[in-house]
Chain A
Amino acid sequence: MKDHVAPHQAPLRPPAQVMRLSRMGSMFPTRLSFLRTLMRFLAAEKAQVSRPVWQMCPEGYGHAVYALSFGGHTYSLVAVSTALAPEDRTDRVIAEAWDSSYVLYDGVPDADEIARMCATAPRQEAARFTERDLVLSRANKSVRLFQHVVERLRAGQQPDRQMVGEIGYLMRTTAVYGNGKFGIADRSCIDTRPGLSGPFMAEMLTVWLIRQFTHDLVEHVGQGRLDRDLKRHLGIGNSTGLGMAPFLVTHPVLLNNWMLARETALARVRAVRHLEPERAVRLVALADRARRHLAEWCVPDAAHQARIDRLRADWVRFAGGITAKALAEEGALERLIRASGTQSEDLQELLVALALEPFPELVDGLADCMADPVGPVAAPLADTAQLRDEIACHFGWALAPDYADAAQCRQFWYVSEAKQEPRLGDRFAEEGAALESPLDIGRRIKALFLDLPERSEDVRAFLARSPEHFLAVARVALAAGYPYAEIRDNLIGAGCLPIDMLRCKLAFFGASKFDPKSDRWTRITLCQGAPLADELDRRADDWWLPVFDA
């Protein structure tokens, strides 16, 4: 960890508790979420967004360029808005046309470069891009809200606040591609630059600028100005599916670093024995904000709404104990966190996110530890006896299931021919299990364990004889140094819900208002409550669990 003067901290929550799917699927955004980190950085840099190009017809089709400079570099978002027939509008990855498309560009594009991106961005995966192109994205309108806002603005009125509150965005992105996809720049081209060294920073910057574009576009078409508070509440939606889930399995070091930073932050906060009065007041206010946020969080899915309803009720009861008087007692925060142990994981994780919020000096520096600048540094395993010991020590969760049981291997991950979309199939009802993607880490670890020789031997000799275990050995080798690297659940079991993996990753992005449409994909809102481009100097960091002050 890069924090050289480490504050006191309580013990970390063990990976066996933290790295379970159900808990990961209960996570909330925190002040370590990437969008929060980015906003703080842009504010510290006094970054100013300009719009040097706006070539848009009255109906809102054309292109625009936004630019901002920070850390010694200038970045530009090229936004292209195109007409789209209703029958062509789909959030699916397999779509081939969108309402709008975007490129985050390294520098200030000249006319030729703008023309190039206006031609390629709308084609997305079907086009090729250059190393000046850092991020590629696209977004579709929330037709209902976009049309409504346009009509109201044209009539000289503001949109219906309830509708703005319910939907929360004018457009939703359906993909945000970084790190070399389709020829764009490798992450290593920018990962030492100030402001972009953290994970997904270029992608978050893109999303924030897209949100600004959606505001400008609706005002352009509606020929009016949105009230500032409405605009601030209009984030950017996103549809996220299974494509995001494998990332957490295939990037164990990153997953470890994200979780370890968050758990270290919590451990530091738990070690705080005395809360200053102003800090206690802040916690009480934030607990109330969380209550109002939960009250505004409504989703169409009945099961998920019931879960939100339970959390609302539980939180009202629990947060009743979060008072300035109670927090004035020594060790109050630790007691509160301990008391939450009897509550649901949803409530526990909400409390974790709340507890971090008033402690920027203990938490924010940990954001510097969330990238993976050098790659996995695994300790060599001396022999198969050590391998066996490591598995027994760290992988009990992997050894427990009987993977021959149909319920324990019901699902298989694979990549579809259709736009190479990651998907999840039923092993016993669908074709394709022979081409299964290697996300079955638990099963592989157990197979390795069962194949280890009784007499210890050199790991290399074992792998020469059993090369199919190479991946499992590599994961075991990581375990000692990266305790939060593995999701400690059976990812091919019938009970595996990919939505839990999505929520974990999206919470790290800073998403809120999770709106699951199945156990495999969700809509979310990003940047809701985030500062507008001209507000970075005023309210860059106070938008945790935003509420709409209707």
Chain B
Amino acid sequence: MSWSGAEVSALAAKAARGAGAPAGQAALFGQAAALHLQQGRGAGALAEALETLPEGPIMDLPLVLQEALPVARSGGEIDVVWAGDVALAWSYLETMPYRCDVELERPGGLKVRFSPRSDARPRAQRISGCEELLHKMATLAAKTLVPDSAASRSGGAGAGLTDND
């Protein structure tokens, strides 16, 4: 079975929220997670990131992006200091709307060159071979769902009238 990038992104974002990440960081993790898997960078870093909440890369990598943003906008190189999984950091950097080439990958960080991106985002690749991670994400995502109730059902589309009209 293969998955679309959009559904993995949505699932990863919900999983991060379910694991305790604030909404903004969770959404960013969702984007990065899909890119990460599409690039074949391995599911382990994503699972670990979810496990280490409320600390770890899901909380820290958004701050790395904050630091990189001015350079990314103007184009140029930056040394990204990052002691964690550099592949995951790379995936986060690629969520920005700029072309991002990693010139040097090393323990403790990356040297990155930013340049303007062409018009469109690259075509998303299908995601497969990470069922265990996706199952884990689904379990965490379920923690964000509110149990069904009569009161909640009464407001949805189609509620309150016959549909055989």
Which one, B1-9, B41-49, B75-83, B106-114, is touching chain A?
A: B1-9
A520 within 8 A of B: yes
Query: Which of A189, A417, A517 touches B160 (beta carbons < 8 Å)?
Result: A517
Residues of B in contact, count (CB < 8 Å): 52
Q: Is A112 located at the chain interface by the 8 A CB criterion?
A: no
Task: Report 24 cross-chain contacts, Cβ distance below 8 Å, ordered by A residue.
Answer: A182-B7, A188-B5, A188-B123, A191-B121, A239-B157, A242-B157, A374-B97, A374-B117, A374-B121, A375-B95, A377-B97, A380-B69, A414-B146, A417-B146, A417-B148, A423-B155, A425-B146, A429-B151, A438-B23, A463-B66, A470-B22, A471-B24, A471-B27, A520-B159
B104 within 8 A of partner (CB): no
- Asked whether B66 lies within 8 Å of A460 as measured between CB atoms, the reply is yes
Interface residues of B in 1-46 (CB under 8 A from A): 1-7, 22-25, 27
- Taking CB atoms, residues of chain B closer than 8 Å to A324 are none
State the Cβ distance, A128 to closest chain B Cβ, in Å.
6
**Contact of A131 with B120 in the complex, beta carbons under 8 Å:** no
A435, B146: Cβ atoms closer than 8 Å: yes
Q: Is B153 positioned at the interface, with any CB of A under 8 Å from its CB?
A: yes
A183 within 8 A of B: yes
Q: How far is the CA of A380 from the CA of B69 in the complex (A)?
A: 6
Interface of chain A residues 50 through 99 with chain B (CB within 8 A): 86, 89-95
| Chain A 494-529 interface mask (CB, 8 Å, partner B; 1/0) | 000000000000000000000001101100000000
Q: In the complex, what distance in Å separates the CA atom of A460 from the CA atom of B145?
A: 31
Extra 16 A-B pairs, beta carbons < 8 Å, given A188-B123, A373-B121, A435-B143:
A89-B164, A92-B156, A131-B2, A143-B165, A179-B6, A186-B123, A188-B122, A189-B124, A375-B95, A380-B73, A423-B152, A426-B151, A432-B146, A468-B22, A470-B62, A518-B160
Q: Which residue of B lies closest to A464 (CB)?
A: B63
Q: Are B158 and A460 in contact, CB atoms less than 8 angstroms apart? A: no
How many A-B pairs with Cβ below 8 Å?
180
Q: How far is the CA of A90 from the CA of B6 in the complex (A)?
A: 28
| A16 at interface by CB-CB < 8 Å | no
**Chain A 165-188 near chain B by CB (<8 Å), digits 1 or 0:** 000000000100001111111111
User: Is A467 a contact partner of B22 (Cβ separation < 8 A)?
Assistant: yes
B147:A375 contact, CB within 8 angstroms: no
Give Cα A236–Cα B7 distance, bound, in whole angstroms: 28
Q: Which 5 A-B pairs have the closest CB atoms?
A: A241-B157, A180-B6, A471-B24, A180-B4, A91-B158
Closest chain B residue to A521, Cβ basis: B157
Which residue of B is nearest A378, CB measured? B69
Instruction: Tell me whether B67 is interfacial, beta carbon within 8 Å.
Output: yes
In angstroms, Cα B126 to Cα A157, docked, is 52
Partner of B6, one of A187, A378, A379, A424: A187
A344 at the interface (CB under 8 A from B): no
Query: A residues within 8 A CB of B161?
Result: 517
A202 CA to B51 CA, complexed, in Å: 38
CB under 8 Å from chain B, chain A span 385-423:
414-418, 420-421, 423
Please measure, in the bound complex, the distance between the C-alpha atom of A417 and the C-alpha atom of B142, giving whole angstroms.
Answer: 8
The residues in A between 479 and 505 inclusive whose CB is less than 8 angstroms from any CB of B are: none
Residues A425 and B66 in contact in the complex (CB < 8 Å), given A92-B158, A380-B73? no
Residues of B within 8 A of A142 (CB): 165
Q: Does B132 count as interface, using CB distance less than 8 angstroms? A: no
Looking across the interface, which residue of chain A has its beta carbon closest to that of B7? A180
Bound complex: CA A431 to CA B70 (Å): 43
**CB closest chain-A residue, reference B165:** A144
**Residue A209, interface by CB 8 Å:** no
Chain A residues near B145 (CB-CB < 8 A): 415-417, 420, 435
Q: Which of A131, A183, A373, A425 contacts B151 (CB 8 A)?
A: A425
Decide yes or no whether A474 CB sits under 8 A from chain B: yes
Nearest CB of B to A142, in Å? 7
User: Which A residues are in CB contact (< 8 Å) with B95?
Assistant: 375
A520 contacts B66, C-beta separation under 8 Å:
no
